[in-house]
Amino acid sequence: MDLAARIDAALPQTQCTRCGYPDCASYAQAIASGEAAINQCPPGGAEGVVRLAAITGLAVLPLSAEHGVEGPRTVAFIDEAWCIGCTLCIKACPTDAIVGSHKRMHTVIEPYCTGCELCIPVCPVDCIQLETVSGSATGWAAWSAPLAQQARQRYQQHRQRVPLEDAEEDPAEAMGEQVGSATDTTTSGANAADARKAAIAAAMERARQRREQNPR
């Protein structure tokens, strides 16, 4: 097994991108080539840095504050009463832990969620929240090798279905594509952008009305 593969095998496989790279394998390759430090993985925490130091022969470093802090394991939950069915969280999830369809409510399959948080910023109605599921345990103490292996396998399957370059599309444009079908607009350029904004606004207004009818 080459160095990059050994490093990748020691990462928690949350695919959260907090390290500054698009996935765990890319971060592992960057470490192996000397382009990245071994302390950029918040989910792995301090123990993760120690593991990477043992593999690479590099000195143990404090976890990089620039990339985040070590914390407990979290799982995303969707408030279905607020969800507008835009599917953006489904596209963002690296382990296909969210199920649903266009204009239908979505839900998270808890055992498959890595707590990567990638679904949160793309949600236009802020209906996703994280809940701690590991108590006070953090880093690798809150994670496990079986969970990492499961996450790696699901991510590989996801990448076969959704190439990495497709996953990096602009969320606002994606939202427009999803809810834009609510309009018959076929214009381009500025008119198309205005139509997307209008469609998003309409979807959010429907969500607001739903919240008023069904408060949390």
The answer to whether 179 touches 200, Cβ cutoff 8 Å, is yes
Spell out the domain ranges in the chain: 3-67, 74-167, 171-213
CATH label, 3-67, candidates 3.40.190.10, 3.30.70.260, 1.10.15.40, 1.20.1250.20: 1.10.15.40
- What predicted TM-score, i.e. pTM, was given to this entire model? 0.77
Output the CATH code of domain 74-167: 3.30.70.20
Which token pair is 156? 């590989």
> Measured between alpha carbons, how far is 185 from 191 in angstroms, rounded to an integer?
9
| pLDDT tens over the chain, length 216 residues | 799 999 999 999 999 999 999 999 999 999 999 999 999 999 999 999 999 999 999 999 999 999 999 999 999 999 988 899 999 999 999 999 999 877 778 899 999 999 999 999 999 999 999 999 999 999 999 999 999 999 999 999 999 887 765 555 544 444 444 444 433 434 455 665 565 556 555 555 555 555 566 555
